[in-house]
């Protein structure tokens, strides 16, 4: 028993740095935010208990509802578009041609570039006056739009910027494509199936578990969208086009020091993500097909 206890303690000693970090930086803030959401707290003065006042005010906060609606719109557009583009590129990169490894590396590299750095590059590329995109459009006689100045085009710019990091999901799709048994394609060819039929009846059904995984992770990430939108606020982009839910939460917490209200917003966002992902899980039985 003493030997077994020593072995167990040795194991816990090795994982203790992670356990301590999890308790201090994740579990404690998670639980503390529940209490702070029920208080009026500005960091400077001690928190004052106000019950559900923050949640009642949230229900009548027009800015919050606009930010939540904008976040929903972004998730509805950017996540499906990212999946479609990711699957399409993965299918192209799955073709064994000379130098395909180089192409795979090129498409993957943008996903490991820091978000702040890539956003700064896009701010220059999409600049209405000196941007590269509008300069290229001008060469063919097209007057480029005000990408970062008008609400509609700012939203389009943010969606296009989200495709820059699709390389991470492409790697997952490629791994799933390599795992599809080749004899299924041979059987489909014998049955007279063409390229589109094989894609519809063999590739996509067996790829659906990975698509489901990326869909869930993409939705969770989209509801926490922050960095790019926050950086665009310094580029004279209209606030109504860049004030996503996470951006507004950041403003309430660090610009106005309203930590209690921000904690309530965080819990509302948590519940929204739980509900949306729960609905996705409820529908996955109809379209996700596993090998068995």
Residue-wise pLDDT for 155-211, tens only, equals 999 999 999 989 889 999 999 999 888 888 889 899 888 889 999 989 999 999 999
Beta carbons of 128 and 145 less than 8 angstroms apart: yes
Predicted local confidence at residue 217, as pLDDT? 94
Predicted local confidence at residue 75, as pLDDT? 95
Q: CA 259, CA 272: separation in Å to the nearest integer?
A: 20
Predicted local confidence at residue 277, as pLDDT? 95
Q: How many CA atoms lie within 13 A of 217 on its CB side?
A: 12
Q: CA 156, CA 5: separation in Å to the nearest integer?
A: 59
- Break the chain into its structural domains and give their ranges: 55-287
- C-alpha distances (whole Å) from 257 to each of 16, 41, 130, 192, 263 are 34, 8, 37, 66, 11
Predicted local confidence at residue 50, as pLDDT? 93
Q: What is the 3-state secondary structure (H, E, C) of the chain?
A: CHHHHHHHHHHHHHHHHHHHHHHHHHHHHHHHHHHHCCEECCCCCCCEECCCHHHHHHCCCHHHHHHHHHHHHHHHHHHHHHHHHHHHHHHHHCCCCCCHHHHHHHHHHHHHCCHHHHHHHHHHHCCCCCCHHHHHHHHCCCCCCCCCCCHHHHHHHHHHHHHHHCHHHHHHHHHHHHCCCHHHHHHHHHCCCCHHHHHHHHHHHHHHHHHHHHHHHHHHHHHCCCHHHHHHHHHCCCHHHHCCHHHHHHHHHHHCCCHHHHHHHHHHHHHHHHHHHHHHHHHHHHHCCCCC
Q: What is the share, in percent, of the chain residues with pLDDT greater than 90?
A: 57
Reported pTM: 0.89
The whole-chain average pLDDT of the chain stands at 90
Is the CATH number 1.10.150.670 carried by domain 55-287?
Answer: no
CB atoms within 10 A of CB 171: 16
Residues lower than pLDDT 70 in the chain: 234-237, 291-292
């Amino acid at each position: 028993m003493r030997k077994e206890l020593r072995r167990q303690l040795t194991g816990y000693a090795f994982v203790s740095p992670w356990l301590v970090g999890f308790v201090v930086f994740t579990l404690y803030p998670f639980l503390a935010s529940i209490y702070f959401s029920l208080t009026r707290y500005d960091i400077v003065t001690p928190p004052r208990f106000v019950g559900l006042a923050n949640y009642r005010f949230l229900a009548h906060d027009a800015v919050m509802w606009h930010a939540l609606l904008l976040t929903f719109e972004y998730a509805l557009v950017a996540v499906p578009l990212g999946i479609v583009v990711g699957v399409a590129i993965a299918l192209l990169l799955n073709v064994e041609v000379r130098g395909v490894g180089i192409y795979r590396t090129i498409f993957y590299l943008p996903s490991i570039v820091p978000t702040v750095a890539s956003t700064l590059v896009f701010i220059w590329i999409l600049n209405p006056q000196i941007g590269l995109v509008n300069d290229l459009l001008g060469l063919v006689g097209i007057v480029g739009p005000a990408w970062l100045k008008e609400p509609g085009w700012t939203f389009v710019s943010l969606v296009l910027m989200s495709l820059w990091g699709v390389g991470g999901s492409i790697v997952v799709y490629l791994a799933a494509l390599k795992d599809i048994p080749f004899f299924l394609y041979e059987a489909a060819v014998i049955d007279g199936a063409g390229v589109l039929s094989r894609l519809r009846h063999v590739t996509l059904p067996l790829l659906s578990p990975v698509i489901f995984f990326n869909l869930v992770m993409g939705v969770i990430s989209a509801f926490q969208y922050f960095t790019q939108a926050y950086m665009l606020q310094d580029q004279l982009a209209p606030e109504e086009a860049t004030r996503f839910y996470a951006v507004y939460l950041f403003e309430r917490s660090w610009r106005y020091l309203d930590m209690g209200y921000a904690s309530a917003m965080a819990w509302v966002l948590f519940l929204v993500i739980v509900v949306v992902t729960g609905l996705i899980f409820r529908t996955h039985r109809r379209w996700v097909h596993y090998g068995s």
